[in-house]
Structure 1
Amino acid sequence: MELNNKINKDLILREKLALQRTNLANQTTFLSFLRTALYFMVAGLSIRNLMNVENSLYIEIVFFLTAALLFFFGIFSFVKNKKSISEDEKHIGNYQMEYYKE
């Protein structure tokens, strides 16, 4: 019986640590989307100074729209994954011990 309690605690700890890693990966992914959106925003702001093209306004609009789409997709993805992670959190410790019997 003592072995089963040790297995239970180890598995629960591993599952909690795995969820923490997944949460950190989700935050990192959101920050990557934010960083990329900011790059496109800066490109849109600086395109007029770099190019002497008359229709640079259209290129700026494309960069701004791309930045906005990336930003909102990053928020949507973050919220969706965070909800999924929180739903998985309630399953910690719900495993069957028959797999661990010798």
Structure 2
Amino acid sequence: MADFGNDAPLWAARWVGSAAGAAVSLVYMLPKGRREAASRFVTGLTCGMIFGGPVGIWLATRLEIAAFVSRYETTLAGSAAASLTAWWGLGVLMRAAERMSGGGDGGGGR
């Protein structure tokens, strides 16, 4: 069982990683307005905070670098990756749902 004590640097790595991933997701796919930007940023922060640890461990294991990085680097990278991919995945699902419901432009361009 993981120890989720009061390790301030670990929590800071989660916050910084989550914020960085959320910010990159906003730049990578520009939001349509302030409301969408705020929603995406909060979604990214939340997912990065929740899934950052497990994603970091998974990434470090897959890349075979677990022995070379600290737990803070693992958490930072995992939080950023979880935050970035959370909105990407949700964005894909949301746009697919819009198209299926007829709310999209029907593929006719802008």
Q: Shorter chain as normaliser: what TM range?
A: 0.3 to 0.5
Q: Give the alignment's TM-score, normalised by structure 1.
A: 0.37
Structure holding more helix per residue = 1
Q: Give the alignment's TM-score, normalised by structure 2.
A: 0.35
